[in-house]
Chains A and B, each alone.
Chain A
Amino acid sequence: MARLSTCTLIAAIMLCAFAAMPSLAGNALREKGKPATISGSPLTVTPSRDWNRLAISPGKKTELWTLDGENLNDVTFFAGIEPGKPLVREVSKKRKPLPKFTSNTLLVEVPELLEGTYRASKDIATFTVSGAKPDRFLEHDGIRFTYDYVDEDALPRRGEGRAALIKGLLYMATYDAPRLHYYDRTLEDFHALTDAAKLN
């Protein structure tokens, strides 16, 4: 009897663990033409070519997509970041807090928020926002910006981000790749992917 109840308990714990961490389900293929929901949010993307969704994700409301591996081309979706929350998971809320998205963050400050998040989480100093202009994203007024940075592996990377503030939530997609070769090669795919994103 005691044994049975222990088994039930273990099964229950495992079930809870799986339910709490859907991202542990493993890497998955995101097939061409099939709408994919991002992290259980209203954000849906219909890719125009096959993509990989990685099992790892930097935060609760984020998803990581790639073609050749996250170090070579990495698209991160931030699907509805709430005010008071950081963009990615904090290693230590107390000792190493990350900058938070707030209800009074302006669209023009979104690149600064991403910059602060990269700098604080990676302990890097080389990050520059190279451009920012108004652009539509998810059929709302948004921002499109570009940036350059050098990660701890000393490889210069370039990135582009598109963001919009919708009903007080931050929706953003960023694309990061090594400046040499990979950035230019996958940029069009990123544009096609984000153009095909919409809110349900």
Chain B
Amino acid sequence: MKRSRIALTAAALIMPTLASGAPAATKSAPPPPPYAGVYQPRGVDEIGIWRDEDEEERQLSNSPLVIRDEALNSYVKGVLCTAVGPDRCKAARIYILRTPVFNATMAPNGTMRVFTGLLLRMRSEAELAAVLGHEFGHFESRHGLNRFKAARSGTDLLSWAAVLTSMSGSYQSQSSFNSLQLSVYGGLFHYQRDNEREADLLGLGYLNASTLRPQAASQVWQNVMGEAEASASARGLKKPRFDAIAFTASHPPDAERAAYLSALASPEGASRDDGAARYAKAISSWLPLFLDDQIKLNDFGASEYIITMLSSGGWTAPLWCARGDLYRARGNQRDLVAAAEFYNNAVALDPKLPEAQRGLGLALLKTGRVSEGKAALSRYLALKPDAPDAAMIGMLTAKDS
């Protein structure tokens, strides 16, 4: 508890400087605290939380959502080790979950969950290391335990205050209780956001001390903002605010995070390698699947943003095919025409990609180019005779219309 208070005071001292503007260019995030080796939980609260988490992890390890590809798992573990150091990273057990959202978590007992939506959005080893380092920062500073204790103290206080208020029964005391309730809940949310800031700084500290480019940490948040803006704009919503947050927000505003992570990244690190090529190679075999999972979420703007981002390294057949799927799913006539063009690009790059032939055929059929469409569908069947929908597609190619 003492440790967290010190950390909080430190965070409180640092934060106003961050909010008021970029600190001097020579500053960089502090080096990570010394690591104590294999840690055992202490005290009834921590032991209890660890037991709960151990039970959760037992279930998680058998979950059908976990991706068990050895190469991918050891690569992600390797990135964590590069970020936090080979000694620290032994404390983490990584589970890659097939869930299409941008997130990663780390539980107090060392269970790290990495979602495939995160792997899809990262562009380099350094970006992944920044996120994993942030999560490891939560673990190392025992934020889970501290938040549990803070929530318990806050709700204890409110329970006693509720008893006293009901005994008094005056309007004045009820009004004071309402104010107290707001302050306590506001304080808890604020505490959580401060934990996030502390974890950001710890994560950046690891990255500054590693062999990777620390400037990538800020890039992660710039990409997140770009995607959120693209998603909102395609849905006809107002541009999201990145500088303001709700009373109940769990994280600091994205723009603030991008700003302080950029300001505190070690300037000497700017020339370091960010491992983009290594990252692209490591996830290349999984990328089409992760992308497909994203496209089928029906978030046109975000998916288009991700495809464009991935295409900066050159268009590939699976990327064109994914873009075709995205447009075909939205299904306006103009989208179908565009989709047919994208599938054609995919076919030009790889005529043996069955999904591109199928998409091309369906898009052409729906835009009135029946004979070309049937030809593409026949090519699909020739490439993948045992496709699950072979009988249905066969009917389309055979039917006279």
Which residue numbers of A lie inside 8 Å of B, CB to CB?
94-95, 97-100, 102, 104-109, 111-112, 115-116, 119-120, 123-127, 129-134, 143, 145, 150, 154, 156
The 10 A-B residue pairs with the shortest CB-CB distance, nearest first, are: A125-B293, A133-B391, A132-B389, A120-B298, A108-B392, A125-B100, A119-B296, A154-B63, A125-B98, A131-B388
CB-based nearest B residue for A179: B64
Provide the bound-state CA to CA distance between A123 and B98, in Å. Answer: 11
Question: Do residues B237 and A130 form an inter-chain contact, with CB atoms below 8 A?
Answer: no
Question: Do residues A119 and B293 form an inter-chain contact, with CB atoms below 8 A?
Answer: yes
Question: Do residues B297 and A123 form an inter-chain contact, with CB atoms below 8 A?
Answer: yes
- Given the interface contacts A120-B296, A131-B388, does A99 sit within 8 Å of B329 by beta carbon? yes
24 A-B interface contacts by CB (under 8 A):
A94-B237, A97-B298, A98-B298, A99-B298, A102-B331, A106-B362, A107-B392, A108-B389, A108-B393, A112-B329, A116-B298, A119-B293, A119-B298, A125-B98, A125-B100, A126-B65, A126-B98, A127-B296, A132-B388, A133-B391, A133-B392, A134-B391, A143-B392, A154-B59
User: When each residue 377-395 of chain B gets 1 if its CB lies under 8 Å from chain A and 0 otherwise, what string results?
Assistant: 0000000000011011101
User: When each residue 45-66 of chain B gets 1 if its CB lies under 8 Å from chain A and 0 otherwise, what string results?
Assistant: 0000000000000010001110
CB-based nearest A residue for B388: A131
CB-based nearest A residue for B395: A134
Q: Contacts of B161 on A, CB cut-off 8 Å?
A: none
Which residue numbers of B lie inside 8 Å of A, CB to CB?
59, 63-65, 98-101, 116, 235-237, 293, 296-299, 329, 331, 336, 362, 365-366, 388-389, 391-393, 395-396
CB-based nearest B residue for A117: B298
Please indicate which of the listed interface residues B235, B366, B392 has the most CB atoms of chain A within 10 Å of its own CB: B392
Question: Do residues A116 and B329 form an inter-chain contact, with CB atoms below 8 A?
Answer: yes
Question: Do residues B64 and A129 form an inter-chain contact, with CB atoms below 8 A?
Answer: no
Which DSSP category, helix, strand, loop or mixed, fits chain B's interface? loop
CB-based nearest B residue for A103: B331
Q: Contacts of A150 on B, CB cut-off 8 Å?
A: 64-65
Q: Contacts of A106 on B, CB cut-off 8 Å?
A: 362, 365-366, 396
Provide the bound-state CA to CA distance between A131 and B387, in Å. Answer: 8
B345 to chain A, nearest CB (A): 21
- Given the interface contacts A123-B100, A134-B392, does A104 sit within 8 Å of B366 by beta carbon? yes
The 8 Å CB contact of A132, one of B236, B366, B391, is B391
The 8 Å CB contact of A108, one of B101, B235, B296, B396, is B396
Q: Contacts of A156 on B, CB cut-off 8 Å?
A: 64
CB-based nearest B residue for A134: B395
Q: Contacts of B298 on A, CB cut-off 8 Å?
A: 97-99, 116, 119-120
Q: Contacts of B366 on A, CB cut-off 8 Å?
A: 104, 106
Provide the bound-state CA to CA distance between A104 and B235, in Å. Answer: 22
Q: Contacts of A132 on B, CB cut-off 8 Å?
A: 388-389, 391-392
The 8 Å CB contact of B99, one of A102, A105, A123, is A123
